[in-house]
Structure 1
Amino acid sequence: MGADEAWTPEDYMREQFERSVGDLEGYLSDEDIALLRAFALKVEDNLSDATFDKFRYTFPKSDLGTYKAAKARIQFLAGFKPVTYDCCPNSCMAYTGPDYSALGSCPFCGTSRYNSQKQAHKHYTYIPLIPRLQAYFRNSKLKEEMQYRHKFESTDRLANEDDPIEDVFDSANYKSLKGTFVNVDGKQYTHTFFNDPRDIALGLSTDGFCPFKRRKQTCWPIILFNYNLPPDIRFAVHWILCVGVIPGPKKPKDSDSFLYPLVQELLQLSIGVTTFDSQASALFKLRAYPILGFGDYPAISMIMQMKGHNGIFPCRMCLIEGLRVPNHRGTTHYVPLHRGQHPNVIDGTTRRGITQYDPANLPVRSHTQFMKHARLVQFASSNQEAEELGKACGVKGIPLLSCIPSLLFPTSFPFDFMHLAYENLIKNLVHLWTGTFKDLDHSGEDYVLSGSVWEAIGEATARSGSTIPGAYGARPQNIADDATACTADSWSFWALYLGPILLQRRFSNPDYYNHFIKLVQLLNLCLQFSITRDEIQKLRVGFQDWVVEYERYINDIFNFMH
């Protein structure tokens, strides 16, 4: 491309594909290479099967066959096939592992596994991970990209605590793994985590979403990210490794049964899988270790086997106790720091009776403590005892992922910034400012903006799109018309760039505006590509102060500190 031409992710993917095909030349026939190009076009541009079938008429000299024949050939060339498991029609569980594989009906909803023709009602398709990781080392260009982790880190960098944090390899969890011997199922092996430059660091993510508009059915993709790839490409769709999709239509009752095939492979990869390195022309032990798991709160609660955000102990990082809104029918818990005037604290009916939490010294969970609670619940003498023990710690049992030696509970499962900040915090602030937060009485409160003011802010937000370059993102929409249609990206842009201008001098009490600006400053600090230890401490103290100030402002809502 010319020096003045813009380089897009699509251009990069196309170049990588050309390189991949170039590496295959001499190994595959011209017909197979042409087939791979056509099939890549179908996949990357989401072409239908029928459209692919039309290729052979549109390009008669290409010798392309039918989609069915092409698919069979691609599967053969790939060297591996998806694995199909039976699952409950309601997606409660998959018939995997020693607990479920031999069952004839779902233990949760009672639905039969088979129909009258002895065929499974539904299937869960798992796409093996190991062959795809091995394929990286058969491609010289991809193997070169995979050297990012090794190039990024150095002995000096890992030892120097003053270096800024710029990537996942600067994290405390990753550093604690380095030099530690791998232990799988009680057996310690002779190799340590990430002692080979070819060892792969992985991230695990899942989240429920509705694939169809105006329908409530959900499905749950299970995807992996390859942290050995450079940051500018590792999260691109082209490089994401999807191992399966929990088909829905409902949230699974036992997500571990769907994770079972993946966990089996991850345990193999922790020990080592014999793989051919084409560049070195030698065999080696390929090892890969997941170091992070992330998603929204319900998704992470699901794979961590926790009660979730509505539990009495909802936080996966600490044991702060949740409280219910006084004189309210709802079962949702919330977690204020100051709780001395809450009726349940006063009458002693809370489990811990703490009147005030120190935000700088919360009862943080440790891996040892988490697993102790998990075992107590898992091996309780009865379901009732398990339920009571679970309420007292927020854990429902032993998560299957805990057998992966590179994962630490809960620190390997950090909070997802997108959901925490933009899908939760900013949205709740807007609800508070517009008097629609929960079903509380906001009448007469000075933090509430009048309808006309909020409509003006919405109109100004929409008009701003005419003077903002498209490179900054999607055109801002009128948030006063339909805030539910706003994405996390649009909330981020509004909070960081538009809100500070549009909210200025809008509140009758300027303290609320200043409080919002403090949050914007903290969010901007979080989004830096490089962050120092001093800045992390500034964030820690800054968010603690912001929450304390937030509680002070909203005390009138909850009537706690009069």
Structure 2
Amino acid sequence: MPHDTKGKSKQSSKKDPRHCDCPKCVYNTEPIPYTTWLRHQCQLEREVEQLGEIQAGASRSTQASGSGLGLQSSRDQGEAQSTWSRFHEPDRGDNEHTESDGGHSEHEEIFEEMDTFESLNAHLLSPTGPPSPAGHPVTIIPPPSPTPFIPPAPTSLPPDNNASEQLGGTEPVDQGGEEFTDDAEPETRIHISREDKRITDRYIAALKNAKLDDSGLTLQDIQRLRNPPANAKDLSADPSLKYSLKYYLDTLNASNDTFTSVIKTSSEIQEEQGTDLEFLSHWQTKNRIMDMASIATIKHHMCPEGCIAYTGPLKDLEQCPTCGTSRWNPQKLRRGTKAPAQTFTTITLGTQLQALYSTPEIAQQMRYRRDKTHDIQENIPPSPQNPNGPPAPDRLEDYVHGSDYLQAVHEGEINDNDILLMLSLDGAQLYEHRPSDCWMYIWVVLELGPDRRYKKTHVLPGGFIPGPNKPKHLDSFLFPSLYHIAALQNEGLKIWDASMSQFRLARPVVYLATADAPGMVYLSGLVGHSGARGCRNYCEVKWRHKPNGSHYYPNLHLPDNYHSNQSPNFPEIYHTNLRRVLKSSNDFETVRKETGISKASLFSGFFMPLGVPGVFPLDIMHLLALNIPDLLIGLWRGTLKCDTKAGDDIKSWDWVVLKDTRDNKVWTAHGKRVAELSKCLPSSYDRPPRNPAEKLNSGYKASEFMVYLYGYLPALLEGILPTPYLQNFYKLVRGVRLVSQHSPSIQNLREAHKCFIEFLTTFEQIYVQRKISRMHYVRQCLHTLWHLAPETMRLGPPGIYAQWTMERLIGIMGGKIALHSDPYENLTEIGKEICAVNSLFCKYPSLDRSNHPLPHTARPLAHGYTLLHPHEKTHFRIEHPAEQAAYNEYLQRIHFNITETTCTRHARLLLPNGQKVRTAWKEDQRADS
């Protein structure tokens, strides 16, 4: 195309040098000529379009012939490699500054794109909608009723005569003054630059072509993965090793000196008895366990400030691109030695999965998903609305009953050779009074049944990110673990299936990836709960902010076409908006605000059946047990921050009923009442809540909040909380109880969804009252309730993918920290030890004493019942006439004739379902003492 040489001037922005944001110029900070910039933008446009196609079709891999694996075809891999090869080796030649002139206005049409958003939105938001494939919205049809429930439109809310108190708009309005902040809800927005976005794209590109040979594992570890042994070593042939292992495992929670003392005593006994058995030392035993368990770890360098990890495209940098800190230890560097200033460890998953199939017993347990899926397919028919679709169960017992899973199986995305996994990420403060932030993640093996997958012997630590600062580029830390998974998907994981006595190829699949709100921002690449589109499920509801404020709140001013009975989790809309973000340059901040997307998710770099954002579920542990209690109790106690600058007055809060005054200690008396109820709570309800007036701000547990808020308060607030607020609270409690069941029915979920909608709409009417000063009452946790029932239909009962397991493991590992001078390295060693012991138990189940959980004083009975200690040593004579009559009547009923009214009393009875029944014999003694 000929160049237009006329009209040259410095006013022509098209001819001026420009800063380029393409992957080739990721390290170039200088402007480049316009012609070079234009060529890069055209090339980037083509790559973005190809990336969108790759990510949108991430769950449509071609089945590999002969192995039954859904691996990516060589043609698809070739396309991905050609698309992304330029990200690995930037062409520095394109950055040379050359003189050129001309307009190139015709090239602007290259960036034009068909905007089908409106038609797509109208189609997907229709009441019926298309059939729901994996990751698509789930439509909940309301239960039939003479007057179906319809959420009130904004116009039906009670008007407010104070014009200055009307809700703010969706755009900031500068009215002066300082921004009001609600400190109770932490900031979760992450600030991602265009360079961060480009680096993530390069990480995604590397995952597309992952290989075990490039994963950082040693050759020995790779050989173990590719050629696992068919049978574990026979321990009976080496009694010295066998008993050393037993002593090590028995003293696992004790010190090394304890192990040494036990070994010394045992050696003395052996010597006295004339036997010759030499035990291994603690160090020798630990090394043998690591070798027998085949735990493979990868250690990488990281920024000592915790900003980034030197992995993938950042592996060759000499200093942190975020803070500029040197990669190397400065003291050793001055002596001429290059040693990393900080490292972190990744515990790879492949050999641990192989161990789960190494014995017939555990391998049979790993068939749970396969057998359960076949049972559902054979016994549950499709829905009448979709007769050719997947089964439609009317009750959800596990994730295998979720609509997304059944749809993925129906379409062939998930097969019998897959090993489904759930990643769970969280950060922990190791010490209360000093900065000690540490991030970690675990793997939950979904192939096991729900009665086994959450036990600590089957939960697999994946990696630890040292603090004390939280990581700024989490993708760089997760990359080694996800690269390992992607490499195993591309190559296949060879396992010895002891239940079938044969080798077969398996494919590890990340089915779900969960975290709390701050962690999910890093995983999903969305803007977080304080952004203009802060919904964790990426729905289309626009959030609002206060004037002169930047924190957005999900106040219920729903669009006219928003269908409240549908979970608007639309991958199509997400990928359309993602393409806008990927090709944005100077308008990145604007596009991020409009789309709610900061970057592409690292999880889009390899095969996942649910895709992005469907792979990211809700977390009811933080939602129901922490966030909502914090909001409601703060309202009822009057401790929620009052925005007096916007005209609010705490004296107008007629819902404050749990606040101590000079004349009436309501909160103190309420706390004592809660503590008194502890002796009335059955053990099946977990731990009883402590006195909230004393312990609420000092480590009140999530399980305590659950019992306190949804168990005690509906009764304790009766007659105290005004009727409108109490009835509103009852709606929430009813919905939570329905959706929190082990196996809720579809009808339960419809009712729960209706309860949540009524709770949310009424909440704004009676608490917020359309006042700007009260917008911060409506937090993300309330908005998430809109999605809770639909997401349960999509993925199964929410307790299955909640953060309870992650939090529990953090508590277990944190309690084992003994080296307080370097807790992060100590925690890493603890995680490696847990993985090694778990793998050892899989290979040698006889070493696992937890398989025999009953104490030695237990007295098993028939049909799964067990009498538990304490037991009465002598016979007890029944003397009270009423007790004698009842006892004799019982004996006659079971056809047992005896005249002597004596018995032996036992304190507790273990039921087949795991609950314990306690007798008044010992409970009364405990109460009296």
Q: What's the TM-score once normalised by structure 2's chain length?
A: 0.52
Structure 1 Cα separation of the partners of residues 265 and 324 of structure 2: 51
Deviation at 1:89, TM superposition (A): 1.3
Partner of 2:590: 388
2:325 partner amino acid? T
Q: Does structure 2 conserve the Cα–Cα contact (< 8 Å) formed by 1:442 and 1:557?
A: no
Structure 2 Cα separation of the partners of residues 42 and 309 of structure 1: 45
> C-alpha deviations, 1:139-169, integer Å up to 9, x for none?
1111011111122122233743143111001
Structure 2 Cα separation of the partners of residues 379 and 29 of structure 1: 63
Counterpart secondary structure, 2:472:
coil
Which segments of structure 1 move beyond 6 Å, counting only runs of 4 or more?
A: none
Structure 2 Cα separation of the partners of residues 389 and 419 of structure 1: 30
Partner of 1:77: 292
Length, aligned pairs only: 506
Counterpart secondary structure, 1:38:
helix
Structure 1 Cα separation of the partners of residues 762 and 237 of structure 2: 66
Q: 1:172 aligned to 2:403?
A: yes
1:393-432 equivalence runs, <5 A: 393-406=595-608, 407-432=610-635
**1:443/1:473 CA distance change after superposition, 3 Å:** same
2:343 partner amino acid? H
Deviates more, 1:272-281 or 1:115-124: 272-281
> C-alpha deviations, 1:29-70, integer Å up to 9, x for none?
222322332333344xx3334433444324325633333222
**1:27/1:114 CA distance change after superposition, 3 Å:** farther
Structure 2 Cα separation of the partners of residues 523 and 529 of structure 1: 12
For residue 326 of structure 2, the aligned residue among 112, 115, 126 is 112
Q: Does structure 1 conserve the Cα–Cα contact (< 8 Å) formed by 2:307 and 2:322?
A: yes
Deviation at 1:420, TM superposition (A): 1.0
1:447 partner amino acid? W
**1:173/1:471 CA distance change after superposition, 3 Å:** closer
Deviation at 1:242, TM superposition (A): 0.9
Q: Does structure 1 conserve the Cα–Cα contact (< 8 Å) formed by 2:543 and 2:552?
A: yes
Counterpart secondary structure, 1:294:
strand
Structure 2 Cα separation of the partners of residues 230 and 273 of structure 1: 21
1:70-219 equivalence runs, <5 A: 70-97=285-312, 99-115=313-329, 116=333, 117-154=337-374, 155-156=377-378, 157=380, 159-180=390-411, 192-196=412-416, 198-219=417-438
Structure 2 Cα separation of the partners of residues 401 and 25 of structure 1: 41
Partner of 2:918: none
1:483 partner amino acid? L
Deviation at 1:559, TM superposition (A): 4.9
**1:264/1:370 CA distance change after superposition, 3 Å:** same
Partner of 2:751: 538
Structure 2 Cα separation of the partners of residues 314 and 95 of structure 1: 30
Q: Does structure 1 conserve the Cα–Cα contact (< 8 Å) formed by 2:581 and 2:591?
A: yes
1:278 partner amino acid? A
For residue 57 of structure 1, the aligned residue among 264, 270, 275 is 264
Counterpart secondary structure, 1:237:
coil
**1:469/1:366 CA distance change after superposition, 3 Å:** closer
Deviation at 1:483, TM superposition (A): 1.6
1:376 partner amino acid? R
Q: Does structure 2 conserve the Cα–Cα contact (< 8 Å) formed by 1:179 and 1:195?
A: no
1:48 partner amino acid? S
Partner of 1:41: 250
Deviation at 1:560, TM superposition (A): 8.1
For residue 680 of structure 2, the aligned residue among 467, 484, 492 is 467
Partner of 2:860: none
Structure 2: runs of 5 or more not aligned: 1-230, 271-276, 383-389, 644-648, 775-929
**1:373/1:249 CA distance change after superposition, 3 Å:** farther
Structure 1: runs of 5 or more not aligned: 1-21, 181-191, 340-353
Counterpart secondary structure, 2:603:
helix
Partner of 2:460: 241
**1:144/1:554 CA distance change after superposition, 3 Å:** same
Q: Does structure 2 conserve the Cα–Cα contact (< 8 Å) formed by 1:359 and 1:544?
A: no
**1:369/1:34 CA distance change after superposition, 3 Å:** farther
**1:324/1:527 CA distance change after superposition, 3 Å:** same
Partner of 1:188: none
Structure 1 Cα separation of the partners of residues 343 and 569 of structure 2: 37
Partner of 2:653: 445
Structure 2 Cα separation of the partners of residues 470 and 274 of structure 1: 44
For residue 667 of structure 2, the aligned residue among 454, 475, 478 is 454
Deviation at 1:296, TM superposition (A): 1.0
Counterpart secondary structure, 2:263:
helix
**RMSD between aligned alpha carbons?**
2.6
Q: Which has the higher contact order (CA 8 A, sep 6+)?
A: 2
Counterpart secondary structure, 2:442:
strand
1:332 partner amino acid? H
Structure 2 Cα separation of the partners of residues 103 and 536 of structure 1: 52
Partner of 1:351: none
Q: Which has the larger radius of gyration?
A: 2
> C-alpha deviations, 1:448-496, integer Å up to 9, x for none?
1142222221111112123334553324211123423211100001122
Partner of 1:268: 487
> C-alpha deviations, 1:226-270, integer Å up to 9, x for none?
111111121122211111111222221111111112212222343
Q: 1:374 aligned to 2:581?
A: no
2:708 partner amino acid? W
**1:164/1:434 CA distance change after superposition, 3 Å:** same
**1:533/1:474 CA distance change after superposition, 3 Å:** closer
Structure 1 Cα separation of the partners of residues 355 and 237 of structure 2: 15
For residue 719 of structure 2, the aligned residue among 505, 511, 522 is 505
Structure 1 Cα separation of the partners of residues 409 and 304 of structure 2: 43
Q: 1:311 aligned to 2:531?
A: yes
Q: 1:67 aligned to 2:298?
A: no
Deviates more, 1:509-518 or 1:52-61: 52-61
Structure 1 Cα separation of the partners of residues 625 and 756 of structure 2: 15
Structure 1 Cα separation of the partners of residues 685 and 278 of structure 2: 44
Q: What's the TM-score once normalised by structure 1's chain length?
A: 0.84
> C-alpha deviations, 1:315-371, integer Å up to 9, x for none?
1311322222346xx6432110138xxxxxxxxxxxxxx6x7846068934223323
**1:558/1:216 CA distance change after superposition, 3 Å:** farther
Q: Does structure 2 conserve the Cα–Cα contact (< 8 Å) formed by 1:319 and 1:363?
A: no
Counterpart secondary structure, 1:291:
strand
**1:24/1:338 CA distance change after superposition, 3 Å:** same
Q: Does structure 2 conserve the Cα–Cα contact (< 8 Å) formed by 1:337 and 1:359?
A: no
**1:438/1:50 CA distance change after superposition, 3 Å:** farther
Structure 2 Cα separation of the partners of residues 367 and 204 of structure 1: 20
Counterpart secondary structure, 1:209:
strand
1:252-267 equivalence runs, <5 A: 252-267=471-486
> C-alpha deviations, 1:276-311, integer Å up to 9, x for none?
223433221111212111121111111111221121
Structure 2 Cα separation of the partners of residues 228 and 403 of structure 1: 23
1:424 partner amino acid? N
1:504 partner amino acid? E
For residue 433 of structure 1, the aligned residue among 636, 641, 645 is 636
**1:377/1:483 CA distance change after superposition, 3 Å:** same
**1:172/1:368 CA distance change after superposition, 3 Å:** same
Partner of 1:5: none
**1:405/1:176 CA distance change after superposition, 3 Å:** farther
Q: Does structure 2 conserve the Cα–Cα contact (< 8 Å) formed by 1:338 and 1:357?
A: no
Partner of 2:700: 486
